[in-house]
Structure 1
Amino acid sequence: MYWSSALLAIAGLARGVNSATLRFSCAQLVVDRLDPLVNPGMAPSPHLHQIVGGNAFNVTMDYEQNDPASTATCTSCMPTEDFSNYWTAVLFFKARNGTYKRVNTMGNGLGYTASNGGQTVYYLSNGKVTAFRPGFRMIVGNPTFNSETQARQNPGLQYTCLDSPMTRTGYRYDFPTTPCRAGIMVTVRFPTCWDGKNVDSPDHQSHVAYRRGNACPSTHPVAIPEVFYETYWDTRPFNDQSQWPSDGSQPFVWSFGDARGYGNHGDYVFGWKGDALQRAMDANCQSDLFNDQVNCPTLKLQSIADTNKCTLQRRVREDIDAWLTELPGGSM
């Protein structure tokens, strides 16, 4: 079996001794037109999202009124103390006749195929890190970006055309332009440095920053865990190129209308109970990609079958499963 250097690094084999590689599956919680960070209180929000994590996800998620760690009653993630929410936009296929069909997520082919969609979540460290404080939230990426130059400002937001579930080569900043035999993997990596003061900022980004080389910048001196998503999109039903645009362009579009892929972005609301995340990072928990195991004795884990049971009813009543003449919200 061939493992790329990127995958070996994720697995912890190329990371420092005092490091953590916590990797687990989160099943689909809900697909809904809500965004409590960018559009709090708005139902529906402008575009559709796919959400995983605790079932306290809501139209508004002010920490003082809705602490997910204390209000959620289940989580679609494997660690039972993780009631955080993780979400991204939703992928659509645009057929030659101009209609749209929602693309489903699927379980990660590296060990989590039994998951009811959703995504794989990582918490990575390379040295001592400080876990997030209650109320912490952040966004990475920008849905208005429309060029590779802009997209490269967030180097961890990329696409992989999966030749098999094991593929970890050929990363790119835009949608693949040829059919992908095993689907499309979208990765979202968040910054790993924090200003040490603010759990949020007006743009939900300024309180965090990427490392400069191996060190955090002086403006954001506190090292935090690296939150990293892998989402497998099941594009296999749409590999018939006779249904692709007649001009030969690729047919996929994000729910906010981006047909290039440069607007890739992700959202995060922290919701771990107590010191559970800090314990896991301090214990240097390591998930074994080769045996698909989460090796973290300090955490209590639930089965994938149990993660599949934690779901939410959609708040916004609209048809998102039929062939549509426009994207939900009319983005395109």
Structure 2
Amino acid sequence: MGRNTRKRRTPLATKAIAASAALALGGGGLIWANFYASAHESNNNAWGNQTKAANAQVATISCPDIGQKLTSVPRQARTEVDGELGNLDRQITDAYQRLMTTRDAQARDASFVQNSILQPLKDRRKAIIDRIKLEINRVGGSAPGSLDTLASCTGTPANQTTAGGQQQQNGGQQQQNGGQQQNGGQQQGNTGQQQGNGGQAGNGPVAADFVDITKVQPNVAAKPQKSGNASTGVFITRCGVNANKNHNTDNVIVAPGVTNGAHHLHDYVGNQKVNAFSSNQTFLQGGTSCQNKNDLSAYYWPVVRVQDGTQDFDQNADGGGKEGNVGKILTPVQAQIKYVGSPTSKVVAMPQFLRIITGDAKTTTNGLANANAHWSCTGFENKVQLTTQYPICPQGSNVVRTFAFQSCWDGQNIDSANHRTHVAFADANGNCQNGFKAIPQLTMRLVYQVTPPTVQNGVVKNAFAVDGFPEQLHKPATDHDDFISVTTGGLANKIANCINNGQRCA
């Protein structure tokens, strides 16, 4: 991916804007407003009625994620379409700013949000959608007919802003079923403290986002049975824990050429020259933190912070405190990266420059279809895996994030327009479908030493949370991980051969 010459977004003018565009997959997001007016005034008070009406209408604005629908954008149009998706996100940012700065008007006029924010936003989104369709059709593509239906954004009351709308405790089977979760109860939601959104920055997490792992029933499913043709080897690559603090708020996969395109901070291990303007040639010259110097792959994930009242270097920066990502950044005490095989077949080598995103940074908007978060504690990983709650671990146990990436590849493309359809998860039996080929499955395990949070009277203290788009409320299900495969010296073939031969290599 070369440098994208479209205009970069300018930072928001004031620190009061605690959220901005959700660019993870383009053009969709939730806009959250924190209301200070009381919702408990007497029903006999006209002002109280107006306040309650305003709160009910404008607590959250949900905009459809247009980028998810664009699965077949011709390559000749992708730069222009990416730019227009960025414009959609800028519109969401502008609407959020207006939402945050018109609280008095909203409290006095229950129709203010619809007339002054939602309707103008719809009109502006429709103009951008028309330009996206024009760019796709101009190069001989066919824009989805459903795009016109995605212009409208809706208001949602605060008590309905659960992550994904239906998030519940997870059954730990997402890598086998394309990310669809097996849910087991305990719906998530806001608890009402700090205007219902909690967190050190006012945008989460909340008490309901945490659970004592010792009180969760085992939910880890058995692995698929191995066939005689299984590839049983393991290849381990040691790339460190980002002790050198290689961070940025870019995301070259989904927002090439856009500074702060991720709107949250990433840890980087492996390739050391990854930013919004990196190209494939840059990756080959990037150097690596991996012990195997032929592994130039980029492994990056959102940082985890502890919200204990402290701040970090980016407390006044875009992607950090300006966008609701606050607290002390935690460096993992372990970062284990390995590639494993398929239970039903041999694997083919990963192609050079293959991009994979696992999980969804915007589950609060998109729901759980692509969620692939795994949260657990040392000593519990084989019993309990959580997607929609953070674990409170017992004394002596550490917090664990794990990721199991998509392990099936379409055999042709190193990326796709929505950054998803060129790879897929195996089915429940471990088979790749629709002509996809099994590739080495990247798995990552990150371990953090965290003082256990406490929940008292519905309020969580010393919470930890993964960085994310502020309108996503730091929900656990928004956890995600990114990967770009870059190897030299025949390493990709060596990894595949090791796995296919049933060896354990490093």
TM range, smaller chain: 0.5 to 0.7
Among 390, 406, 420, the residue aligned to 1:176: 390
1:276 match: 491
Contact 1:196 1:221 in 2 (8 A): yes
Alignment: residue pair count: 264
Contact 1:22/1:285, CA 8 A, preserved across alignment: no
1:54–1:120 Cα change, 3 Å = same
For 1:76-133, what per-residue CA distance to the aligned partner results, in whole angstroms no more than 9, with x for missing partners?
A: 223221010111111122347999322312333xxxxxxxxxx211111133111121
How far apart are residue 177 of structure 1 and its match? Answer: 4.7
Q: Does 1:44 align with 2:256?
A: no
**CA distance in structure 2 between the aligned counterparts of 1:193 and 1:17, rounded to whole angstroms:** 14
Alignment partner of 1:259 is 2:474: yes
Q: Residues 167 and 191 (structure 1 numbering): CA distance in 2 closer, same or farther, change over 3 Å?
A: closer
Instruction: After superposition, give the CA deviation of every residue in 1:234-266 in whole Å (9 maximum; x if it has no partner).
Output: 323xx363xx67623472222213432011111
The alpha-carbon deviation at position 153 of structure 1 amounts to 4.3
Q: Structure 2: where are the runs of 5+ without partners?
A: 1-217, 312-320
Residue correspondence of structure 1 range 279-318 to structure 2 within 5 A: 279-284=494-499, 295-296=504-505
**TM-score where L is the length of structure 2:** 0.46
Q: Which residue of 2 aligns with 1:83?
A: 296
* Matching residue's letter, 1:214: G
Is the counterpart of residue 248 in structure 1 residue 456 in structure 2? no
CA gap of 1:180–1:104, structure 2 versus 1, over 3 A, is farther
Q: Tell me if 1:234 matches 2:449.
A: yes
Pick the structure with more strand per residue: 1
Asked whether the 8 Å contact 2:346–2:500 carries over to 1, the reply is no
What are the equivalent positions in structure 2 for 1:109-148 lying under 5 Å apart?
119-126=335-342, 127-146=345-364
The structure 2 residue matched to 1:102, chosen from 328, 331, 340, is 328
Do 1:150 and 1:262's aligned partners in 2 also have CA atoms closer than 8 Å?
A: no
Paired AA for residue 136 in structure 1: L
CA distance in 1, matches of 2:233, 2:424: 20
CA distance in 2, matches of 1:174, 1:279: 37
For 2:238, the equivalent position in structure 1 comes to: 25
What amino acid does structure 2 have at the position aligned with 1:50?
D
Q: Following the alignment from structure 1 to structure 2, what is the Cα–Cα distance between the partners of residues 169 and 248? A: 27
Query: Which amino acid in the other structure matches residue 51 of structure 1?
Result: Y
User: What's the secondary structure of 2:291's corresponding residue?
Assistant: coil
Assess, with a 3 A threshold, how the Cα gap between structure 1 residues 26 and 216 changes in structure 2: closer, same or farther: same
**Rounded Cα–Cα distance in structure 2 between residues aligned with 1:97 and 1:136:** 38
Distance 2:421 2:264 in 1: 23
Task: Name the CA distance, whole Å, in 2 between partners of 1:125 and 1:33.
Answer: 32
SS at match of 2:390: coil
Q: State the distance in 1 between where 2:501 and 2:292 align.
A: 14
Output the amino acid matched with 1:176: Y
Alpha-carbon shift at residue 179 of structure 1 (Å): 4.4
Does the CA contact (< 8 Å) of 1:84 and 1:269 recur in 2?
yes
The structure with the larger Rg is 2
Tell me what 2:437 maps to.
Answer: 222
| Cα pair distance change 1:245/1:278, threshold 3 Å | farther
Give the TM-score, by structure 1 length. Answer: 0.68
Residue from 255, 258, 274 that aligns with 1:57: 274
Residue deviations 1:137-190, cap 9 Å, x none?
A: 11111111139x944644x5310023x5x8543211133353453331111111
Query: How much identity, in percent, do the aligned residues show?
Result: 19
1:248-304 C-alpha deviation (Å, 9 max, x unpaired): 3472222213432011111101111142122132133899xxxxxx942xxxx6xxx
Task: Give the SS at the match of 2:341.
Answer: strand
CA displacement, residues 191-225 of structure 1 (integer Å, 9 cap, x when unaligned): 1111111110112111001112332111x421111
| TM-aligned CA distance change 1:14 to 1:159, over 3 Å | farther
- Find the residue that maps to 1:262 and give its secondary structure: helix
| 2:401 paired with 1:186 | yes
Asked whether the 8 Å contact 1:103–1:235 carries over to 2, the reply is no
Distance (whole Å) between structure 2 residues aligned to residue 207 and residue 95 of structure 1:
41
Paired position in structure 2 for 1:196 = 411
Does structure 1 retain, via aligned residues, the 8 Å contact 2:355–2:415? yes
